[in-house]
Amino acid sequence: MKTTTATAEVLNDLIQINNDRIEGYEKARQELKDGDADLKTLFLNMIAESQKYKMALATEVSALGEDIETGTTNSGKIYRAWMDVKAIFTGHDRKTVLNNCEFGEDAAQNGYKMALEEEEIPANIRELISDQKASLRTSHDEIKRLRDAQA
């Protein structure tokens, strides 16, 4: 039972990270200018990606007989508040939005890395987490590439 609860807690943490990611990209889309249609489309894809991952994680939590987390992490709320304050001082330019997104992607990578460090995670769930982390790494690298391309 202890392993089941611990596994559910890890999965719920990842659900919260994906909830943060969804909210973060929705916020980032609002900050973009009309000329940034490419980023708006990219961010919609990243929102969809996190919604898919969240559902896969929630399915596993439900299979364990535990409650599924619906909120966001405290650090995510703090991050979003910080992003609001920072935007006041730096404006809503493309590079700033991409910088903020990369910060969020770094946090997601760290959360997934910590989840994989948990020893009691069953192999099938470890594989799910590892696959999601790898895909999120691709998204991170795309954000970084776009950010680095800015003058």
Walk me through the domains of the chain, giving residue ranges and CATH numbers. 1-149 (1.20.1260.10)
Q: Report yes or no: 140 and 120 within 8 Å, Cβ to Cβ.
A: no
Alpha carbons within 13 angstroms on the beta-carbon side of residue 73 total: 21
Nearest CA-CA partner of 24 in 129, 132, 98, 131: 98
pLDDT value of position 77? 63
- Name residues of the chain where pLDDT drops below 70: 1, 76-91, 151
Q: Report yes or no: 135 and 49 within 8 Å, Cβ to Cβ.
A: yes
Alpha-carbon span 102 to 74, nearest angstrom: 18
3-state DSSP call for residue 2?
Answer: helix
pLDDT value of position 17? 92
pLDDT value of position 140? 94
Q: Retrieve residue 130's tokens.
A: 């590892």
User: Which residues have CB under 8 Å from 137's CB, separation 6+?
Assistant: 109
pLDDT value of position 71? 81
Residue type, 67: D
User: Measured between alpha carbons, how far apart are the two ends of the chain, in Å?
Assistant: 54
